[in-house]
């Protein structure tokens, strides 16, 4: 016997362990089923489960579990990435606590410490994924720093280098002066700040008392100025173009150049040009062949390229000093408040400095072309579709991808330098040495490049490196390209685009056929969750409180396409209640001896209620499957919810009660078997969403030798029975109508009244007889007269009665002593008004001659029928009102 309530904390670990141990998650290369593959976007090895993870992994698990049941050989490839900077920072912070820096340890020892840390703490997120019920093939778990994945990284780097698609270049990068590394554009956060615009007067050389005024938000960079630019069509400055100015403080002579970059409407229309410290100025500098004067060191302190007084100063101290000096020189024209954006490193939180360095670049513009084409031609499809615009936008404007990072934790660049700086790019040192020997004609010593590669470089290879590439493994052959990538929009640039480029280049095919982009989880007020706001909802806490299944179901039910998820705890509570409801329904079945019957054939049931419900099961299984095929998680979850609660519990089980309590043994046996079958089907349908409770009920509701998670998805053609549906819909309509009138007329629930039906068609009279037990029980009637004697009806009226219309029939509820005649009259009048308004709506359509002439005939016909029905109802209600008044 099932416990009184479902206790998730006792059930969840048990089933998870069984699934994992029994190999139920494993994909099988030798399977004859067609593969279904999802690459799990690898969470950071430093990570722990947050709501975003809970959403994305729930959605992936729903797909994987569903497709596994639907007969596919499902591979959900798990793993984590090494998260270069993040991980390095974690370990550095630990060292800091012991008063040690990574430089004290040295590179090798430090890397060892990181691996130690990974072994100890790196498994947090994968443990938490198990808590969530995720069903990836854990045996295949990979890590971006694995040997195999590292081989892939080296192979890709060397191949691209030899193809001319990776090169070394000196360009401006986003330099993080705290972390001492280049970071990607995407790791730079543009923050709006209330800054100032300083207007500096630069004296024009050779023209006493003539100045050109430039406006800048970064006064300190003037020490690196190499020109002043004005717009070529700006007449104010036309005469000055070609002249020189004497840069204050520094004393350097710099030219005034004409360049369209200068915006005549902004500031003074003249702009100082610092090619080594601003991305736009860098371009201007190249156009005018200006010197690039680097004035900062790696800490963003001033270097020896500036006047002695300023050397070694911090950039912000220098700013103050410059402003003071300019004021002193009477060259500070004015200062205006100026809100503008400033780049911050999203990891370090410090202001990023554009800095000239030598870095490794991937020729992204070249690789992007096939990646763009793959989406344009529909080889890979975005869901929802509009995200392809974001992808196009990014891919069409893609810049060379700087892949080197000046940190230690990551894949070290496979490049070695000879004594003269000549570079040898090879997968192994031995090969580099050999290449060098060939180049120099003798063996030489080489030094390896100290940089490591951007983490996204290795994650870009994830869809094939995890399958064994560059080895030609059976997995690679079978599971690439994958079916779908499920992820948030925030990493379309970071990751999706890069996997597309690498996949196409190295595998010759797209890495996935579909890309499902889901929303962000926000708090109930729609704000982004953040630690600083304190509005973070921890999925683990929610799971403790409501059970994992409730959390999963909530996330799926709220995952409507194109909208963020506002998560409120009461939603989770509601779906916990749903789990309880299911549990209790199963208990009810158990108490009534509804056990699964071997060889039960749902298409052979005879009782109308049973024929009706099996049809609904088929319909629901179908709806859920179709919704999932279109990534409509919300629709899938709601279809299941509505059937389980609104049809199975609210109606079918209630219909079953009088049968169970009755004397028709054949009907009883059939209904028991049907109820058990329906419940089993429900468990199948809900399993992808609620794996734990369904597996538990599956194991408790019968003698099973299989796990639910490996059972086939219900595909049930031919079960829909239109006649049964029409009949049961009528029964439901009867009961609902009677209940509503009882409630409105304040008939006590305990009062068992009789019902006199008149005007039933012959067919419905039969239905009424067949289902009298059901109707009586659910509408709380003592007797149902299916063809009431007119005299009885008249008599009923003389003592007071309520009346209602169901289709063509009038139902009379004798309520002697209970009924308030005025109230009943008012109720009927209100009902008539409502019906009249329905008639009026249809009449309005017919009043327009074009409607009949131009609308589709079936629409016209449908409206005509509807009008007839409403009119008939109106007539009956009016008769009822008259009878009441005559009584």
Partner RNA sequence: GGGCGGUUAGCUCAGCCGGUAGAGCGCCUGCUUUACACGCAGGAUGUCGGCGGUUCGAACCCGUCACCGCCCA
Q: Which residues bind RNA (CB under 7 A)?
A: 5, 185-186, 190, 341, 386, 389-390, 393, 524, 526, 528, 558, 560, 562-564, 566, 568, 570-571, 574, 576-577, 579-581, 584-585, 587-588, 591, 634-635, 638, 642, 645-646, 649-650, 653-654, 657, 736, 739-740, 743-744, 748-750, 838, 841, 845, 848, 850-851, 853-856, 859, 862, 866
Q: Tokens in use for 48?
A: 């722990």
> Parallel, antiparallel, or unpaired: how do β-strands 270-273 and 244-246 relate?
unpaired
Q: Supply the minimum distance, in Å, between the C-beta of residue 39 and RNA.
A: 24
Q: Supply the minimum distance, in Å, between the C-beta of residue 605 and RNA.
A: 20
Q: Supply the minimum distance, in Å, between the C-beta of residue 395 and RNA.
A: 12
In the complex with RNA, which residue's Cβ is closer, 563 or 769? 563
Look at the chain and count its residues.
887
In the complex with RNA, which residue's Cβ is closer, 365 or 765? 365
Picking from 469, 477, 478, the residue whose alpha carbon sits closest to that of residue 506 is 469
Q: Supply the minimum distance, in Å, between the C-beta of residue 655 and RNA.
A: 10
The residues facing 198 across adjacent strands are 216, 335
In the complex with RNA, which residue's Cβ is closer, 579 or 614? 579
Full DSSP string of 302-331: B-TTS-GGGTT-BHHHHHHHHHHHHHHTT-
* H or E segment to which residue 284 belongs: helix 279-288
Which ranges constitute the DSSP H helices of 307-454? Answer: 315-328, 364-376, 387-396, 429-440
Positive or negative CA dihedral for 217, 219, 225, 229?
Answer: positive
In the complex with RNA, which residue's Cβ is closer, 452 or 585? 585
In the complex with RNA, which residue's Cβ is closer, 788 or 880? 880
Q: Supply the minimum distance, in Å, between the C-beta of residue 186 and RNA.
A: 7
Q: What are phi and psi of 227, to 5 degrees?
A: -170, 170
Full DSSP string of 17-51: HHHHHHTTT---TT-SSPEEEEEPPPPBTT----H
Q: Supply the minimum distance, in Å, between the C-beta of residue 792 and RNA.
A: 26
In the complex with RNA, which residue's Cβ is closer, 507 or 649? 649
Q: Supply the minimum distance, in Å, between the C-beta of residue 499 and RNA.
A: 18
Q: Determine the Cα–Cα distance for residues 764 and 223; give it in Å rounded to an integer.
A: 95
Q: Supply the minimum distance, in Å, between the C-beta of residue 578 and RNA.
A: 7
Q: Supply the minimum distance, in Å, between the C-beta of residue 5 and RNA.
A: 5
The helix/strand/coil state of 734 is: helix
**Would you tell me how many other CB atoms lie within 10 Å of the CB of residue 394?**
16
In the complex with RNA, which residue's Cβ is closer, 70 or 679? 679
How would you label 358-386 residue by residue, b for 16+ Cβ within 10 Å and e otherwise?
ebbbbbbebbbebbbebbeeebbebbeee
Q: Supply the minimum distance, in Å, between the C-beta of residue 744 and RNA.
A: 6
Full DSSP string of 149-162: HHHHHHHHHHHHHH
Burial class (CB in 10 A: 0-12, 13-18, 19+), 568: middle
Contact 171, 356 (CB under 8 A): yes
In the complex with RNA, which residue's Cβ is closer, 206 or 526? 526
Q: Determine the Cα–Cα distance for residues 434 and 641; give it in Å rounded to an integer.
A: 67
Contact 571, 632 (CB under 8 A): no
Q: Determine the Cα–Cα distance for residues 822 and 806; give it in Å rounded to an integer.
A: 22
In the complex with RNA, which residue's Cβ is closer, 139 or 833? 833
Determine if residue 531 is labeled as part of a ligand binding site: yes
* H or E segment to which residue 831 belongs: helix 821-847
* H or E segment to which residue 757 belongs: strand 753-758
Q: Tokens in use for 881?
A: 């009102």
Contact 481, 503 (CB under 8 A): yes
Q: Supply the minimum distance, in Å, between the C-beta of residue 275 and RNA.
A: 18
Q: Determine the Cα–Cα distance for residues 738 and 720; give it in Å rounded to an integer.
A: 28
Q: Supply the minimum distance, in Å, between the C-beta of residue 110 and RNA.
A: 32
Binning the chain into helix, strand and coil, the percentages to the nearest 5 are 50, 20, 30
Q: Supply the minimum distance, in Å, between the C-beta of residue 698 and RNA.
A: 17
The residues facing 342 across adjacent strands are 191
Q: Determine the Cα–Cα distance for residues 700 and 124; give it in Å rounded to an integer.
A: 32
In the complex with RNA, which residue's Cβ is closer, 15 or 571? 571
What does the DSSP 8-state code read for residue 427?
Answer: S
In the complex with RNA, which residue's Cβ is closer, 331 or 560? 560
In the complex with RNA, which residue's Cβ is closer, 190 or 761? 190
In the complex with RNA, which residue's Cβ is closer, 337 or 849? 849
Write out the binding residues. Answer: 531
Binding residue ranges for ATP:
531
């Amino acid at each position: 016997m099932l416990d009184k309530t479902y206790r998730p904390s006792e059930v969840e670990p048990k089933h998870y362990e069984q699934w994992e141990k029994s190999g139920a998650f494993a994909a099988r290369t030798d399977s004859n089923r067609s593969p279904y593959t999802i690459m799990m976007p690898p969470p950071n090895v430093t990570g722990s489960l947050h709501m975003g993870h809970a959403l994305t992994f729930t959605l992936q698990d729903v797909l994987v579990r569903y497709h596994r049941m639907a007969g596919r050989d499902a591979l959900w490839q798990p793993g984590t990435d090494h998260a270069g900077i993040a991980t390095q920072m974690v370990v550095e912070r630990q060292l800091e606590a012991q008063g040690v820096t990574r430089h004290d340890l040295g590179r090798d020892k430090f890397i060892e410490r990181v691996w130690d840390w990974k072994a100890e703490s790196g498994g947090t997120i994968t443990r938490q994924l198990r808590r969530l019920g995720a069903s990836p093939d854990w045996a295949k778990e990979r890590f971006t720093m694995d040997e195999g994945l590292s081989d892939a990284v080296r192979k890709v780097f060397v191949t691209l280098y030899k193809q001319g698609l990776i090169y070394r270049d000196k360009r401006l990068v986003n330099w993080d002066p705290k972390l001492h590394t280049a970071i990607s554009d995407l790791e730079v956060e543009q923050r709006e700040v209330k800054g100032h615009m300083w207007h500096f007067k630069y004296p024009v050389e050779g023209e006493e008392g003539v100045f050109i005024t430039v406006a800048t938000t970064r006064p300190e960079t003037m020490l690196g100025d190499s020109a002043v630019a004005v717009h070529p069509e700006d007449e104010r400055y036309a005469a000055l173009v070609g002249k020189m100015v004497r840069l204050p403080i520094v004393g350097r002579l710099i030219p005034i150049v004409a360049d369209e970059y200068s915006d005549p409407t902004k500031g003074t229309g003249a702009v100082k040009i610092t090619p080594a410290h601003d991305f736009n100025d860098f371009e201007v500098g190249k156009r005018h062949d200006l010197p690039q004067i680097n004035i900062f060191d790696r800490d963003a302190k001033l270097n020896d390229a500036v006047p002695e007084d300023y050397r070694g100063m911090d950039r912000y101290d220098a700013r103050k000093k410059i402003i003071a000096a300019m004021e002193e020189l009477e060259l500070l024209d004015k200062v205006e408040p100026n809100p503008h954006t400033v780049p911050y490193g999203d990891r370090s939180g410090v202001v990023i400095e554009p800095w000239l360095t030598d870095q490794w670049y991937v020729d992204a513009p070249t690789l992007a072309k096939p990646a763009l084409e793959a989406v344009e031609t529909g080889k890979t499809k975005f869901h929802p579709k509009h995200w392809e615009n974001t992808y196009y936008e990014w891919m069409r404007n893609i810049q060379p991808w700087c892949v080197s990072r000046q940190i230690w934790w990551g894949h070290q660049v496979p490049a070695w330098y000879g004594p003269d700086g000549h570079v040898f790019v090879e997968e192994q040192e031995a090969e580099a040495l050999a290449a060098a020997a060939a180049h120099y004609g003798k063996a030489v010593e080489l030094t390896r490049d100290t940089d490591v590669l951007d983490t996204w470089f290795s994650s870009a290879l994830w869809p094939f490196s995890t399958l064994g590439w560059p080895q030609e493994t059976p997995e690679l052959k079978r599971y690439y390209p994958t079916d779908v990538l499920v992820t948030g929009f925030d990493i379309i640039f970071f990751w999706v685009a890069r996997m597309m480029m690498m996949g196409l280049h190295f595998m010759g095919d797209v890495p996935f056929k579909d890309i499902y982009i889901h929303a962000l989880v926000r708090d109930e007020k729609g704000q982004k969750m953040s630690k600083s706001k304190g509005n973070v909802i921890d999925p683990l806490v929610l799971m403790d409180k409501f059970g994992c299944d409730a959390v999963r179901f909530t996330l799926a039910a709220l995952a409507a396409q194109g909208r963020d998820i506002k998560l409120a705890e009461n939603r989770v509570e509601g779906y916990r209640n749903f789990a309880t409801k299911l549990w209790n329904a199963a208990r009810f079945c158990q108490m009534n001896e509804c056990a699964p019957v071997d060889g039960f054939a749902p298409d052979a049931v005879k009782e109308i209620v049973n024929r009706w419900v099996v049809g609904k099961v088929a319909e629901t299984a179908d709806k859920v499957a179709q919704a999932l095929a279109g990534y409509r998680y919300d629709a899938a979850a709601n279809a299941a919810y509505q059937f389980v609660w609104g049809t199975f519990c609210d109606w079918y089980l209630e219909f079953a009660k009088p049968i169970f309590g009755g004397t028709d043994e054949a009907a009883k046996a059939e209904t028991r078997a049907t109820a058990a079958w329906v419940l089993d089907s429900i468990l199948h349908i809900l399993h992808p969403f609620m794996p734990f409770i369904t597996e538990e009920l599956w194991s408790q509701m019968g003698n099973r030798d299989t796990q639910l998670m490996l059972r086939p998805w219900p595909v049930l053609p031919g079960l829909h029975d239109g006649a049964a549906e029409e009949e049961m819909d009528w029964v439901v309509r009867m009961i609902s109508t009677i209940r509503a009138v009882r409630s409105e007329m304040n008939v006590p629930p305990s009062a068992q009244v009789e019902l006199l039906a008149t005007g039933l068609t012959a067919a419905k009279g039969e239905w009424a007889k067949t289902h009298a037990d059901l109707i009586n029980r659910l509408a709380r009637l003592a007797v149902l007269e299916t063809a009431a004697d007119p005299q009885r009806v008249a008599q009923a009226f003389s003592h007071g009665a309520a009346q209602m219309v169901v289709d063509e029939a009038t139902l009379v509820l004798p309520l002697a002593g209970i009924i308030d005649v005025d109230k009943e009259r008012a109720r009927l009048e209100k009902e008539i008004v409502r019906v009249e308004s329905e008639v009026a709506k249809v009449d309005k359509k017919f009043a327009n001659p074009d409607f009949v002439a131009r609308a589709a005939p079936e629409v016209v016909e449908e409206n005509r029928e509807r009008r007839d029905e409403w009119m008939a109802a109106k007539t009956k209600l009016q008769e009822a009102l008259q009878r009441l008044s005559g009584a």
